[in-house]
Amino acid sequence: MIKLFDPRRKLNFKWMMYLKMYSTSEPMQDISDLTKQACKVMMYCPKLALDTALDQTGIRVSSDLVENVLERFENAGMLAYRFFEWAGKQRNYSHSIRAYHAMIGSLAKIRQYQIMWDLVNDMRKKGMLNVETFCIIMRKYTRAKKIDEALYTFNVMEKYDIPPNLASFNGLLSALCKSKNVRKAQEIFDSMKGRFVPDSKTYSILIEGWGKAPNLPKARQVFREMVDVGCNPDVVTYGIMVDVLCKAGRVDEAVEVVKDMDANGCRPTSFVYSVLVHTYGVENRIEDAIDTFLEMERKGIKADVVVYNALIGAFCKVNRFKNVDRVLNDMECRGVAPNSRTYNVIISSLIGRGQTDEAFRAFRRMIESCEPDSDTYTMMIKMFCQRDELDMALKIWSYMRKKRFVPSMHTFSVLINGCCEKANVTKACVLLEEMIEKGIRPSGVTFGRLRQLLIKEGREDVLKFLQEKTNLLVKEPLFD
């Protein structure tokens, strides 16, 4: 078989060194350290030797450990599954419901539905199935535009001895609405509302769905129906209605809804104010955004990171980055920690204005206070690729790997495309193979671009090798 590169000798040496450093006959108690230990082995160990490598660490498996590792590797479904299988064989350990749910979600993300349903059957044998299991599957199917499969999942619950209830009904409607299938959700609601008595959550889901359609008249109609049948709107419903109105450009009407909330004894939350602040920012009404933020504080509603992010976004929109610094300082003084979303808003705005040096400075400030997420790494790598600085993009990639953050399909694609742009085909192939090794299927666009370059360079043998590995991932994900 053709080899694109031969890092395995180096990798074998590396993971043997890691095993020597981390192996211990005395069980470690700190879950954080154990998680880092397991993740490091998984990141650097060749997959064929993974079980042996994990065995030799002497790690004592626990539910917390397994759940933490699966969360870290949610973007690498097949690698996560190898760990899941290894953990399941350990003595005095059984997978928790949370571990099963994490694994089901991760497998569905890469469309390994057969293995996903095998896990569902496993859970049934152990009496571990619940409504949330099926809600997760419905969400994943609708996200993949598999509406019929989502409906099948709802309808098959009875056969798995989990009778559908209002929670599962709401789960189906939510999955459909979030995947922009609100008409189908409304049709199902109308046909089944006699079977399940709708609650405020049911109506809130539909209102939000119609708001995203966007169809403000239908959202209003559902809201009126809710009130007419005697189902009182709660703070969530009001918040969604405010959001729907704001997205429809009716921010002044949304303000009236907030006043109605007060009048009906339903106190607005920081989320409601964050929606108003964000909308004023989008409309370049920065003074209104500031006034709304101050009004919230006057009413004794404590600002959280969400409303601070909305205010930062408003200042970024009008290029007032000195105010952004003041807001960050205010957050620090009040003990509100910025999150990845906080910095992603700032970095995205700076990149959009061509202020890439400032964006990189914001990234460096970010890593001192919170962990970057997939969007952060993707933005930074893409920025350096567009600046024709592939070396810097690769440094960000190395930093990400050092933090043991598993890249998403989009992050891989951005760097592979950057390598293709610089005609660094070998590096692009290495990245694509690594992507496949982690169980992440490359997009058709990314693979197609690399394919053209390989053909141009007369490297059809390499192309055939990569194509075979990609096909294998789809057809036989557990074998080499």
Question: Looking at the domain assignment, is residue 239 inside a domain?
Answer: no
Question: Looking at the domain assignment, is residue 34 inside a domain?
Answer: yes
Q: Which two tokens stand for residue 468?
A: 């075979």
User: Of 95, 129, 163, which residue constitutes the final position of a domain?
Assistant: 129
Report CA dihedral (23, 28, 30, 33) to the nearest 10 degrees: 0
Q: Is the pLDDT of residue 17 over 50?
A: no
What is the C-alpha to C-alpha distance for residues 424 and 415, in angstroms, rounded to an integer? 11
How sure is the predictor about 5, in pLDDT bands with cuts at 50, 70 and 90? very low
Question: Looking at the domain assignment, is residue 475 inside a domain?
Answer: yes
What are the two backbone dihedrals, phi and then psi, of residue 2, each rounded to the nearest 5 degrees? -70, 135
Q: Which two tokens stand for residue 331?
A: 């957050």
How sure is the predictor about 462, in pLDDT bands with cuts at 50, 70 and 90? confident
Model pLDDT for residues 224-258, shown as the tens digit of each residue? 999 899 998 899 999 999 999 999 989 989 998 89
472 lies in which domain range?
Answer: 406-480
Residue in 473, 476, 417 with CA at minimum distance from that of residue 450: 417
Q: How far is CA 223 from the centre of its chain?
A: 30
Question: Looking at the domain assignment, is residue 48 inside a domain?
Answer: yes
Please classify residue 406 by burial: count the beta carbons closer than 10 Å to its beta carbon, then call 0-12 exposed, 13-18 middle and 19+ buried.
buried
The domain tally of the chain equals: 2
Question: Looking at the domain assignment, is residue 52 inside a domain?
Answer: yes
Angle between helices 444-456 and 460-475 (to 10 degrees): 160
Q: What is the pLDDT of residue 474?
A: 59
User: Of 67, 99, 129, which residue constitutes the final position of a domain?
Assistant: 129
Question: Looking at the domain assignment, is residue 456 inside a domain?
Answer: yes
Model pLDDT for residues 118-150, shown as the tens digit of each residue? 999 999 999 999 999 999 999 999 999 999 999
Q: Is the pLDDT of residue 294 over 90?
A: yes
Question: Looking at the domain assignment, is residue 16 inside a domain?
Answer: yes
Q: Is the pLDDT of residue 53 over 60?
A: yes
Please classify residue 190 by burial: count the beta carbons closer than 10 Å to its beta carbon, then call 0-12 exposed, 13-18 middle and 19+ buried.
exposed
Q: What is the pLDDT of residue 469?
A: 80
Question: Looking at the domain assignment, is residue 319 inside a domain?
Answer: no
User: Of 129, 152, 170, which residue constitutes the final position of a domain?
Assistant: 129
Rg over alpha carbons for the chain, rounded to the nearest Å, is 25
